[in-house]
Amino acid sequence: MVKAERDNFIKSINAEYDDYLQTVAGLYAFCKSAIWDEANKKPRDKSTLKIPGKVYKAGDKDKNALTPDGLVIINDNYAVVCEMKKHFQLGKTSHFDQLKKYDTPLVDFWENKNIPNHDLVLLTHYFSKTAASDAFNEWNKINKYERAMAIVEFSYSTQVKTYFTLAITTGRLSDQTHNEALRAVKKINDEHVSELLSKYKFYDGQPPLLYTMEVIYDYLLPLCINENEQLIAPSQGFSFTSNQVRDYLQKLCIPQNENKQGNTLPKISWVKAALDKFVEIGLGKKTGDEYILQLRTNSKDDTKSFLGKLIFKKEIEKKKKTKTSNQIDIFDQ
């Protein structure tokens, strides 16, 4: 009974993990596609991407910030603002109201520069494309965009070979070359897919707890072993503050030339929650602002399963403790 419950728990949190990873990869896949110069096989000159973006409406003296999931500056005359909605609820039109906020001249919050003429893009998963298109058609009966707007679907598959595809479902882009490539369905090659899944780890949406923990465990701790050979013994652990962990992860997972806005991802609250969970499941200690994390020993599981089982074990312990406490309260009455 407990094993079946544990297996279902592991399956559920792994699904949440994979869902977030695919969302991040889908967002970066589109942004990378937007800046790619196919003729010269390289990113376009002067192009930059910011995930997340931070902008305000031109003329807004208070500079009230708006934060699209992605801001892609293609060149001095053209940009794309995009929102990611991987799962689209049937009939939900409010996402298009959200996108409408960017349908106006904008200013880059960080650089205080006018953003060039820009298109609007709503990204969604292949399985949600019909719901997104239907919702847009309903919204469009009484609303409209002044700028070019497109719903772009992405799909991800690991059958036989891992691949990503991008395609316009509804609308158009001003960039004719990119527009035609997406109308014909654009396939992202294996090399770029590998980079997307291994290099880019966060966007502005909050990741599942297991996701942040796994990134810390698999990406940060091995780096510390390489840099601090005297700490290679797992029993000694590695000492960090939450800010240090956040800064490490930003360098690892948010390339500096694509992160002009400074320390924004991963958010410090995500990191603290993950570090506290390490302490709770017995893989860390906390003293003041410092956390000491330890490597596992003698486990044949991959990191997700290893951490998932420890999290599940702690949840069972808490349930038993709560149940016992409730029974005691009954007898005390």
| 231-290 confidence digits (pLDDT tens) | 444 456 788 899 999 888 888 776 555 555 555 789 999 999 999 999 999 999 999 889
Identify the bridge partners of residue 56 per DSSP, sorted by sequence position: 107
Q: How far apart are CA 227 and CA 326, in angstroms?
A: 49
Residue 205: closest CA among 16, 24, 12, 17? 24
pLDDT score for 232: 42
10 has a pLDDT exceeding 80: yes
Residue 157: closest CA among 145, 169, 149, 165? 165
Residue 147: closest CA among 107, 173, 119? 119
Give residue-wise pLDDT tens across range 126-172.
999 999 999 999 999 999 999 999 999 999 776 666 678 999 999 99
23, 203 in Cβ contact below 8 A?
A: yes
159 by DSSP, 3-state: which? coil
Q: What backbone phi and psi angles, to 5 degrees, belong to 312?
A: -60, -45
pLDDT score for 62: 93
230 pLDDT band (50/70/90 cuts)?
Answer: very low
Rounded average pLDDT over 201-219: 93
34 pLDDT band (50/70/90 cuts)?
Answer: very high
Q: How far apart are CA 213 and CA 273, in angstroms?
A: 9
Q: How far apart are CA 208 and CA 289, in angstroms?
A: 23
Question: Which residue matches tokens 């089982």?
Answer: 309
81 by DSSP, 3-state: which? strand
pLDDT score for 252: 79
pLDDT score for 158: 66
User: How would you class 16 by CB atoms within 10 Å of its CB: exposed for 0-12, middle for 13-18, buried for 19 or more?
Assistant: middle
What mean pLDDT value characterizes the chain? 86
CB-based contacts of 27: which residues, under 8 Å, 6+ apart? 51, 69, 70, 82, 84, 123, 203
202 or 259, which is more confident?
202
> Which of the residue ranges 130-134, 171-175, 218-222, 318-322 would you say has the lowest mean pLDDT?
318-322
Q: How far apart are CA 170 and CA 151, in angstroms?
A: 5
Residue 122: closest CA among 79, 73, 171? 171
In this structure, is the dihedral angle defined by the CA atoms of residues 222, 223, 226 and 227, taken in order, positive or negative?
Answer: negative
Rounded average pLDDT over 32-42: 90
